[in-house]
């Protein structure tokens, strides 16, 4: 239950809870004591990183391949009329079985004040799927805009490194404000306002049915992320991640952090798409030897790829099985 509460707090914009050292488990205190008594030199750690080699891209490659395959299947199904995956990400049919994006279904229900049977079926199907996958998996494994935003982020980081621009972060709680605003707009106006400006839906439909004027909006959002605020849409505006994160907070699939071999160098946080979820890897933050990363995590796997000591892993909770 504490994991779910902490996950929901982070999803709605709160900073990760910082516990006092007095509440650390005995095992964690013993690990820290062992590290102080047996410090690893910079030379040894550098050698360890060298042996690990350049950061693995295993999970990134799997994620990109999955994201591209899912969206390409929409395109192929429409273009060749093979009726495998019809529709778009907001609402679709997989071999005739209805599927509905959870946030879109919420917006439609609020706007029209009822749910038709097909929407109920589609929502339940996707709900079960994302309960199993957990976290904000939809964001990094399915959303086509996410891939564009990752590329924009790379450009943004390069420009910041060259001191050509500065990053301008916002308070993460603003995403919760937008979540409420979009819900109220749908409820009061009877119109799914968010779906009109959702870059996820716009990109998805553009890929399948061809580009339209709405792509100008997507371009403006990308430019804002490149030159002003890193990953602004996903971090501060889009309500889709909150919806899936809430559902995924009960999932058995999680990223697990183990403190024993961690040297707290921070490489994982540097590559993380939502770095606050990895605050637990900062020295002195973990309360237990094994800690589950919150459901605000997109399950992108980049922290797992880069960690030279395998301190971060995917795990099926309850089974103790690493992926």
Q: State pLDDT tens for residues 200-255.
A: 999 999 999 999 999 999 999 999 999 999 999 999 999 999 999 999 899 999 99
Domain check: are 231 and 106 in the same one? yes
Domain check: are 40 and 154 in the same one? no
Average pLDDT value for residue range 115-140: 87
Domain check: are 145 and 50 in the same one? no
Of 246, 271, 295, the residue at which a domain comes to its end is: 246
Domain check: are 267 and 135 in the same one? no
Residue range 305-316, pLDDT digits in tens: 999 888 999 998
Of 230, 246, 262, the residue at which a domain comes to its end is: 246
The band of 323, judged by pLDDT with boundaries at 50, 70 and 90, is low
The H or E element spanning position 313 is: strand 312-316
Domain of 318, in residue numbers: 2-56+252-322
Domain check: are 92 and 148 in the same one? yes
Q: What is the pLDDT of residue 161?
A: 94
C-alpha to C-alpha distance for 242 and 10, rounded to whole angstroms: 10
Total-model pTM? 0.89
Q: What is the pLDDT of residue 264?
A: 86
In Å, the largest CA–CA distance within the chain is 66
Domain check: are 214 and 156 in the same one? yes
Average pLDDT value for residue range 158-176: 95
C-alpha to C-alpha distance for 121 and 213, rounded to whole angstroms: 32
Per the structure, how many domains does the chain have? Answer: 2
Q: What is the pLDDT of residue 201?
A: 94
Domain check: are 212 and 79 in the same one? yes
Domain check: are 134 and 210 in the same one? yes
The H or E element spanning position 11 is: helix 2-11
Residue range 11-55, pLDDT digits in tens: 999 999 888 777 888 898 888 888 888 877 777 777 777 766 666
The H or E element spanning position 312 is: strand 312-316
Residue range 278-306, pLDDT digits in tens: 999 998 899 999 999 999 999 999 999 99
- List Cβ neighbours of 285 (8 Å cut-off, separation of 6 or more): 16, 18, 19, 279
């Amino acid at each position: 239950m504490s994991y779910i509460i902490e996950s929901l707090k982070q999803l709605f914009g709160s900073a990760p809870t910082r516990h006092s050292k007095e509440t650390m488990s005995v095992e964690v205190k013993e690990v820290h004591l062992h590290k102080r008594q047996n410090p690893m030199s910079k030379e040894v750690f550098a050698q360890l990183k060298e042996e690990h080699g350049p950061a693995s891209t295993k999970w990134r490659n799997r994620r990109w391949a999955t994201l591209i395959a899912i969206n390409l299947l929409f395109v192929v199904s429409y273009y060749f009329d093979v009726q495998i995956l019809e529709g778009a990400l907001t609402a679709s049919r997989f071999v005739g079985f209805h599927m509905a994006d959870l946030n879109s279904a919420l917006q439609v229900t609020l706007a029209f004040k009822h749910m038709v049977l097909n929407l109920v079926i589609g929502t339940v199907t996707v709900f079960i799927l994302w309960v199993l996958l957990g976290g904000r998996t939809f964001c990094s494994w399915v959303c086509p805009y996410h891939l564009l935003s990752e590329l924009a982020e790379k450009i943004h980081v390069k420009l910041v490194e060259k001191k050509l621009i500065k990053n301008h972060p916002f308070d993460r709680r603003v995403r919760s404000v937008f979540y409420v605003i979009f819900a109220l707009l749908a409820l009061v106006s009877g119109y799914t306002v968010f779906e009109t400006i959702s870059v996820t839906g716009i990109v998805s439909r553009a890929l399948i049915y061809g580009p339209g004027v709405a792509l100008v909006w997507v371009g403006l959002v990308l430019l804002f992320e490149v030159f002003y605020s890193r990953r602004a849409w996903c971090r501060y505006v889009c309500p889709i991640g909150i919806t899936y994160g809430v559902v995924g907070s009960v999932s058995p699939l999680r990223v697990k952090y183990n403190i024993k071999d961690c040297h707290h160098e921070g490489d994982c946080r540097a590559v993380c798409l939502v770095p606050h979820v990895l605050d637990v890897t900062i020295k002195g933050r973990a309360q237990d030897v094994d800690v589950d990363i919150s459901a605000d995590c997109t399950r992108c796997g980049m922290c797992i790829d880069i960690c030279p000591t395998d301190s971060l892993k995917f795990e099926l909770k309850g089974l103790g099985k690493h992926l």
